[in-house]
């Protein structure tokens, strides 16, 4: 509805720029911690505004002291827990994942399943299966012979990077491994990929490095938590 001429309502004066009495000015400065509250002042609680329960000390609060109090307050234990969690992940989870990845990278798991040879030295293999003869840490497969189900010798494949004997089953049946020191404690399993040993070694070194780093970070997290509890 359009306003009629001469019917404008008077505008309220702005809230800023108004003069205050010396008593009101002293009360405002005391509330801000600039001056002590006058003894004769009795401010109206209805006009005092919301009360936070905090009073500024005499002379106010320095910004650097307030920032230091905030940084040394409640968030410190929280940061300690975060550092501890990162350390535990680096020390326990990441090394396990790297070691599993190194094992999957270096070993051809499509080959023969791990099978203990025992005293008989016999293992059942399917046609075309790739296998490797694994000896103990003090044993060697250099003097071992492998025969197929017909008793014929099987050609061993040896690599300078992997001092173990590998072979391929030309037909299905029982293959016999014969060694001068016996086959007790030896096994036949999937072959190692010699061309991927370098990558697997890097992953193993990364697992060790992450483990030591995680241990150091875990110690730092525990020390922070202890300092926060004091």
Average pLDDT over residues 71-99: 81
Using CA of residue 119, residue 120, residue 126, residue 128, what is the dihedral sign? positive
pLDDT on residue 48: 47
DSSP state of 134: E
Lowest mean pLDDT, pick from 10-19, 185-194, 221-230: 10-19
- Distance from C-alpha of 65 to C-alpha of 71, rounded to nearest angstrom: 10
DSSP 129-146: -EEEEE--TT--STT-EE
Q: Is the pLDDT of residue 74 over 50?
A: no
Distance of CA 194 to the CA centre of its chain: 31
- Joined together, the tokens standing for residue 142 give 């250099």
CA neighbor of 161 nearest in space, from 201, 188, 189, 131: 201
Check: CB of residue 34 under 8 Å from CB of residue 59: no
Give the position of tokens 């992450």. 210
- Distance from C-alpha of 134 to C-alpha of 144, rounded to nearest angstrom: 11
Domain boundaries, the chain: 77-107+198-229, 115-192
Alpha helices, DSSP H only, in the chain? 22-31, 63-71, 75-88, 94-106, 197-229
- Per residue in 118-129, pLDDT tens? 888 999 999 999
172 φ/ψ angles, rounded to the nearest 5 degrees: -75, 145
CA neighbor of 162 nearest in space, from 105, 107, 100: 107
The predicted model scores a pTM of 0.55
């Amino acid at each position: 509805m359009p306003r009629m001429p001469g019917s404008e309502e008077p505008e309220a004066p702005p809230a800023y720029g108004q003069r205050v009495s010396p008593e009101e000015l002293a009360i405002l400065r005391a509330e801000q911690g600039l001056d002590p509250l006058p003894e004769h002042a009795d401010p109206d609680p209805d006009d005092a505004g919301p009360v936070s329960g905090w009073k500024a000390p005499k002379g106010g609060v320095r910004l650097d002291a307030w920032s230091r109090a905030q940084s040394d307050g409640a968030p410190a234990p929280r940061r300690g827990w975060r550092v501890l969690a990162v350390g535990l992940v680096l020390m326990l989870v990441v090394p396990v994942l790297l070691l599993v990845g190194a094992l999957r990278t270096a070993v051809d798991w499509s080959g023969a399943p791990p099978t203990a040879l025992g005293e008989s030295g016999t293992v059942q293999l399917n046609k075309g299966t790739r296998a490797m003869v694994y000896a103990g840490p003090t044993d060697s497969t250099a003097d071992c012979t492998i025969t197929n189900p017909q008793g014929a010798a099987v050609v061993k494949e040896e690599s300078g990077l992997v001092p173990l004997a590998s072979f391929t089953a030309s037909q299905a049946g029982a293959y016999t491994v014969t060694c001068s020191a016996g086959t007790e404690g030896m096994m036949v399993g999937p072959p190692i990929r010699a061309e991927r040993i370098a990558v697997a070694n890097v992953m193993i070194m990364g697992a060790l490095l992450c483990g030591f780093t995680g241990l150091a970070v875990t110690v730092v997290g525990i020390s922070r938590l202890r300092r926060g509890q004091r």
